[in-house]
Amino acid sequence: MSNDARTSSVRAERERAITAAVRQELINQEQPVVGLLNLTGVRRTAAELHAAFTFPGVDVLHTFAVKAAALVPVLRHLAREGVGAEVASPGELAIARAAGIPAPHIVLDSPAKTETELKEALAAGIAINADNPQELSRIDALVRRAPTTSPIGVRVNPQVGGGSIGAMSTATATSKFGVALRDEGAEEWIVQAFLQRPWLTRLHTHTGSQGMPLTLMAEGIATAYTLAEKINAAAGRQQITVLDIGGGLPVNFSSDETKPSFRTYAQTLQTAVPGLFGGRYGIVTEFGRSLVAKQGVVLARVEYAKSAGDRAIAVTHAGAHIATRTVFAPESWPLRVEARDASGNPKTGQKVPQDVAGPCCFAGDLVARDRPLPLLEQGDLVALLDTGAYYFSNHFAYNSLPRPAVYGYTTGAADSVHFEILRKPQTLDQLVAESGG
């Protein structure tokens, strides 16, 4: 599918879903904010990923970074499209296993794995990337006690630098992740660690995702590839058989266009690391945001419309509890906001600079500041676009606001839209119980 056709499909499917959600009263007085995820679009994106990374003789396992959308039904849908799970906590591992993802398709990454966590993963045959020498020593002891079928590797930090968002840059000189390769003696330690452990067969690196240029991501992977070649040469055999090229793809939040594409990234890697897809190494990817972000929309009711200091303010039910990153770091995580009428149709008319506020009880709870939009009125709706990743399952519990429902939707002929529940709305009784009641 061409980029223009894909963009048109995403927009048309979203329009149908929003009006259908209003018509079917998924958003109502009791549930004034909901999440909608385009499952048709998720399937289409997964197919594009597989196609982009299809190379003769190369075994590729695509895993989904569970933190991007930690919902069991979402993982089930991705699993049907041949996508596994990358997990970074006991909770994410439990979600992946509840979704029925087989152990060989799960990779455990975390900088703070407990012995209990490691023991569970090793017993289940789940792949592990050790973050540091102390963790590797812990794995040594566990492997001596109980043999395992788990593929085991080491995460390295190529220290190639950061992107435009510091918090998303994982390959800086002082990053907390992995073994810092440019530190004195680090590369020599890595080589010896592999030579002393024939069961170490993977090398993992993750340069970052949002805010990262593709060339820098490729440079980090090239560094890991060169190190793998050095280790295999020192071992006199193909000890490292799999390269885990973690890190997601940046997402364009300024329009419906999908850029960069998976194909563009794969071509960048081919140019920067010619041997990567030569057939001697298996590949593991860990895409998250790029698989689901553009398939999501948060739909919220405007509870009140007011003004202050001649600034129009729409008070909605979508704020920091849902759009946490956008509220606290708006320069790094701006969202497109659409003004809709009570029926879900796009509002027209002269655009007026206005704030779109959330329900949290602090002044900075704004998802858009001084944004030119058709004037929002009480009972209207706002749609926060490109929110399929990190907005549905990374809830911020400020003011004890309950987690909203998330619905998946598929589109069919004759403008039909079918919804399925991905997460039920949290009830107040559940919230109280979670709070110790």
Q: How far apart are CA 333 and CA 323, in angstroms?
A: 9
Q: Are 85 and 98 in contact (CB under 8 A)?
A: no
**Cα dihedral angle (98, 121, 203, 282), rounded to 10 degrees?**
-50
Domains of the chain (ranges; CATH) run 3-38+293-434 (2.40.37.10), 109-287 (3.20.20.10)
Q: Which of 147, 78, 140, 145 is nearest to 106 (CA)?
A: 78
| pLDDT attached to residue 9 | 82
| pLDDT attached to residue 279 | 95
Q: Are 221 and 276 in contact (CB under 8 A)?
A: yes
Q: Are 225 and 218 in contact (CB under 8 A)?
A: no
208: left (phi over 0), alpha (psi -120 to 50) or beta: left
**What SS3 state is found at 424?**
coil
**Per-residue DSSP letter, 363:** T
Task: Give the tens place of pLDDT for each residue, 130-145.
Answer: 999 999 999 999 999 9
| pLDDT attached to residue 425 | 97
Task: Give the tens place of pLDDT for each residue, 213-263.
Answer: 899 999 999 999 999 999 999 999 999 999 999 888 999 999 999 999 999
| pLDDT attached to residue 344 | 97
What number is the average pLDDT over the span 275-301?
97
Q: Which of 209, 215, 247, 6 is nearest to 109 (CA)?
A: 247
Q: How far apart are CA 154 and CA 423, in angstroms?
A: 35
HSE toward the beta carbon, residue 247, CA cutoff 13 A:
32
Name the more confident of 6 and 208.
208
**Cα dihedral angle (311, 317, 320, 322), rounded to 10 degrees?**
-140
User: Does the pLDDT at position 413 exceed 80?
Assistant: no
Q: How far apart are CA 406 and CA 296, in angstroms?
A: 10
| pLDDT attached to residue 217 | 92
User: Does the pLDDT at position 100 exceed 90?
Assistant: yes
| pLDDT attached to residue 1 | 64
User: Does the pLDDT at position 112 exceed 70?
Assistant: yes
Structural tokens at position 110:
């975390």
Window from 56-65, 173-182, 348-357 with minimum mean pLDDT? 173-182
Average model confidence (pLDDT) across the chain: 95
CA 141 to chain centre: 33
Q: How far apart are CA 393 and CA 372, in angstroms?
A: 29
User: Does the pLDDT at position 77 exceed 70?
Assistant: yes
Q: Which of 66, 23, 82 is nearest to 419 (CA)?
A: 23
Name the more confident of 176 and 168.
176
Binned at pLDDT 50, 70 and 90, residue 167 comes out as confident
Task: Give the tens place of pLDDT for each residue, 364-409.
Answer: 999 999 999 999 999 999 999 999 999 999 999 999 999 999 999 9
Distance (Å) of CA 315 to CA 81, 162, 278, 308, 368: 39, 36, 55, 12, 11
Strand partners, 316: 302
Binned at pLDDT 50, 70 and 90, residue 333 comes out as very high
43: left (phi over 0), alpha (psi -120 to 50) or beta: alpha
Binned at pLDDT 50, 70 and 90, residue 4 comes out as confident
Q: How far apart are CA 167 and CA 177, in angstroms?
A: 12
